Chain A
Amino acid sequence: MAKHKTPLLDQLETGPWPSFVSDIKRQAEFRKANQDKIDYQIPVDVCEDLLGVLELSFVHRRTHWKHGGIVGVFGYGGGVIGRYCDQPEMFPGVAHFHTLRVNQPGGKFYTTEYLRQLCDLWDFRGSGITNMHGSTGDIIFLGTQTDQLEEIFYELTHTLNQDLGGSGSNLRTPSDCIGQARCEWSCYDTQALCYDLTQEYQDELHRPAFPYKFKFKFDGCPNCCVASIARADISFVGTWKDDIRIDQEAVAAYVGGEFPPNGGAHAGRDWGPFDIRKEVIDLCPTECMRYEDGKLEINTPECTRCMHCINVMPRALRVGDDRGCSLLVGAKAPILDGAQMSTLLVPFIKVEEPYDEIKEVIENIWDWWMEEGKNRERLGELMKRQGMQKLLEVTGIKADARHVQEPRTNPYIFWKEEEVEGGFDRDINEFRKYHQR
């Protein structure tokens, strides 16, 4: 018999898609039965109370969680989100329901041995409910009590060799796409760079010293599977400079219908026979491709590496050999000043250990933002406030036509004194000799 009746939530237990309600109920039953005689460190009925408070939210159509208090682990200013229920008498099992962010491994690869260790720890000291994974990328442990936080951190660091992720005004847990681990398009090793920078900037990740949050995201190619360009303060997007590698025999195989276009992605409908002119050549945004006499040609200098032709013919076309990444900066969601996409700052940078060139760009940006950024001002907003020119100045990067969509349409150039011959200091009396008042 369930502790709370949940008639509204119960209606989410049908239909084909997995039901989170059924899953939480399963965990509630598991805890109640406790066949392994686990000495649960937070209330046994935590999952039942979680369903109870969620049902109440469905009835009221309002959340029943209060602001986080200041909770955390000693010496860190992030990684734990405090959360309290606003109906603790009705739902004592979730009266305190704090979250821990656990820094996920790159590419989100796991062994079952390690996943089970995480599960056992979270069963014993928390609700047994997780997010796999949170929006930023962390493993989320959803719901435990204050006195368990240090215990969990101790076991994570001592037994699991595992640290917490970021929250608050600090470097948020960096995350990456699957990259070269299982993708032929990745122009650099996203996991290696993500791991290296995460380790390098542990202090910035755990101890909030920034004006607001700061995100790194690593996409191996311009397809942007981790959405770095839309949500990272620095987006590392893989790219290349030389020719797309062409296998003409494979091109012919696509044209002849031997290989399915787009890696078989359109197999659910009959789109007719593959037409290389219509589906590739004519859709190329720069018109830099030609297909004549059974031969595909790409005019590399005109190519903007949009990935379309490569996506359509993965067996025939491969990214070039001179690979690296572009750095784009300043993306954010709408709060506060409207959404922003990342802006191109470094068109091409090699991605090679120990990544010193990349770290120099990062640290120059941080120096500026920490000096000039207002409380809760994201990098993109500071860029808007002080201008792209300022960003180029602090990073020591020369302006380039690649930095803009188009040049400015107003002539209101803020000339600096040192840019104008003779400076701004002029003699009014000398002027008046030739120009009467």
Chain B
Amino acid sequence: MAFVSSGYNPDKPMEDRITDIGPRKYDEFYPPVIKKNKGKWLYHEILEPGVLVHVSETGDEVYTVRAGGCRLMSVEHIREICEIADKHCDGHVRFTTRNNIEFMVDSKDKVEPLKQDLLSRKQEGGCYKFPIGGTGAGVTNIVHTQGWIHCHTPATDASGPVKATMDVLFDDFTDMRLPAQLRVSLACCLNMCGAVHCSDIAILGYHRKVPMLDHEYLDKMCEIPLAIAACPTAAIKPAKVELEDGTKVKSVALNVPRCMFCGNCYTMCPAMPIVDDVGDCIVIMAGGKVSNRISAPKFSKVVVAYFPNEVPRWDQTTACVKKMVDVYAKEARKYERLGEWAERIGWERFFEKCELEFTHHLIDDFRDPAYFTWRQTTQFKF
């Protein structure tokens, strides 16, 4: 392995430097049928799960085949996507916000060969490389974060539980039997890179043990005032600590009952590690949405405070998600999102129907808005 220069000269970093050019312009990459019909689309229809047609006022049609993808993707896999797009789609392809891959063709007769090609490709263990689905009143791909593959603060993995959950929900990815679309999201800690807090079902990693204090190194590795300022509940204060050898060092002290386990201190100060094999867990949230359709966008609510990180397949987590989806499918009215259904029947009924235990952890006690979530009426169900 010999170092190969790109042409960059480290002695003169500003020589020929190009900066602030931004992304490539979107219309360079439009397929011809998109370029021609942009802004002229009349309507669309989902012909079968994963296959859409959009019809333009020019009479043109574009057929889209949507395939699920892991957002964690190798370049060899991307090259395979390119091979398919070259073969069927004249070298064009796009990705969706929810990590799906969309192959577009300009006539109906090109759909079937494309579908056959996609479904024929499998990985060595038998997994589909390009499962078709993710449209309409079904489950689409899970948006998620990095987890143990790349992040320094996760309370769970991301790609692992996503794979396990999508295996369990696979039939609803390839079908459209639900009352409305159902969006599942995963964030591996409450920083929530991504909008899991407004998902029909959210899987969230959460820490349950207070950070450890690496007193000997704390002042050397961190700016103590930043660590203190990082705490949203003011649970961290400066402290002088005597080490075992008698040395006195500057460090911090923790007001333990105040800790909400957000891990924000660790983000600012690496000498306060918070991750723990037993402490870290999964929280399940439900009933959120981002669309303004019928009812306003909603936050997801915590419905399970704790499932352990059960590697490699997060069995209790996936079983709970599957149960909620199945009960929702059976009970909700057409067009009703999971959260709208839960509000209509009442959350007490939701817990009963989904066979979830309601514990004190699920009652909000975080700051003023908590009060407004307690029941202040005699209207409730037995």
Contact = CB atoms under 8 A, between A and B. Distances in A.
Nearest to B300: A339
Interface stretch (B164-172, B239-247, B350-358, B374-382): B164-172
B341 interface: no
A113 interface: yes
A12 B48 contact: no
A74 to B, nearest CB: 4
Nearest to A50: B149
11 contacts: A18-B127, A24-B74, A65-B150, A67-B152, A74-B17, A83-B150, A107-B26, A131-B72, A265-B136, A315-B45, A337-B367
A362 to B, nearest CB: 17
Contacts of A339: 197-198, 299
Contacts of A131: 71-73, 146
B59 interface: no
Interface stretch (A224-232, A352-360, A363-371, A392-400): A224-232
Contact of B312 (A58, A154, A312): A58
B275 A22 contact: no
B47 A136 contact: no
B136 A263 contact: yes
Contacts, number: 447
A229 B54 contact: no
A260 B135 CA distance: 15
Contacts of A279: 334-335
B85 interface: yes
B127 A198 contact: no
Interface stretch (B62-70, B105-113, B251-259, B319-327): B62-70
A119 B75 CA distance: 5
B360 interface: no
Given A123-B75, A133-B95, A333-B194, 13 more contacts: A15-B167, A18-B127, A41-B3, A58-B157, A110-B94, A119-B82, A178-B94, A182-B104, A189-B38, A195-B26, A223-B291, A263-B136, A307-B292
A297 interface: no
A188 B39 CA distance: 9
A312 B136 CA distance: 11
A334 B75 contact: no
B339 interface: no
A83 B69 contact: no
Nearest to B25: A195
B74 A54 contact: no
B123 interface: yes
Interface in B1-50: 1-8, 10, 13-14, 16-31, 34, 38-39, 41-49
A183 B123 contact: no
Contacts of A97: 150
Contacts of A191: 26-27
Contacts of B4: 39, 41, 124
Given A114-B24, A335-B192, A147 B176 contact: no
A181 B34 contact: yes
A291 interface: no
B213 interface: no
A420 interface: no
A203 B193 CA distance: 23
B312 A11 contact: yes
A338 B366 contact: yes
Given A23-B74, A114-B29, A263 B46 contact: yes
A375 interface: yes
B148 A58 contact: yes
A206 B20 CA distance: 8
A206 B23 CA distance: 12
Contacts of A123: 75
Contact of A230 (B78, B99, B290): B290
Nearest to B292: A222
Contacts of B128: 16-18
A74 B163 contact: no
A23 B41 CA distance: 37
A322 interface: no
B97 interface: yes
Given A12-B160, A27-B75, A65-B150, A198 B23 contact: yes
A264 to B, nearest CB: 4
The 7 A-B pairs of least Cβ separation, nearest first, read A265-B136, A106-B26, A13-B125, A15-B167, A268-B176, A333-B192, A27-B74
Contact of B123 (A18, A104, A154, A161): A18
Contact of B164 (A12, A132, A151): A12
A61 B309 contact: yes
Nearest to B30: A109
A337 B2 CA distance: 50
Nearest to B91: A112
A336 interface: yes
Contacts of A4: none
A128 B74 contact: yes
B18 to A, nearest CB: 4
Which residue of A23, A43, A224, A229 has the most chain B CB atoms within 10 A of its CB atom?
A23
Which residue of A105, A206, A311 has the most chain B CB atoms within 10 A of its CB atom?
A105
A119 B43 contact: no
B211 interface: no
Contacts of B335: 262, 279, 283, 308, 312
B262 to A, nearest CB: 6
A285 interface: yes
A8 interface: yes
B95 A130 contact: no
Contact of A105 (B16, B26, B130): B26
Interface in B228-283: 229-230, 232, 262, 264, 270, 275-278, 280
A111 interface: yes
Nearest to B130: A18
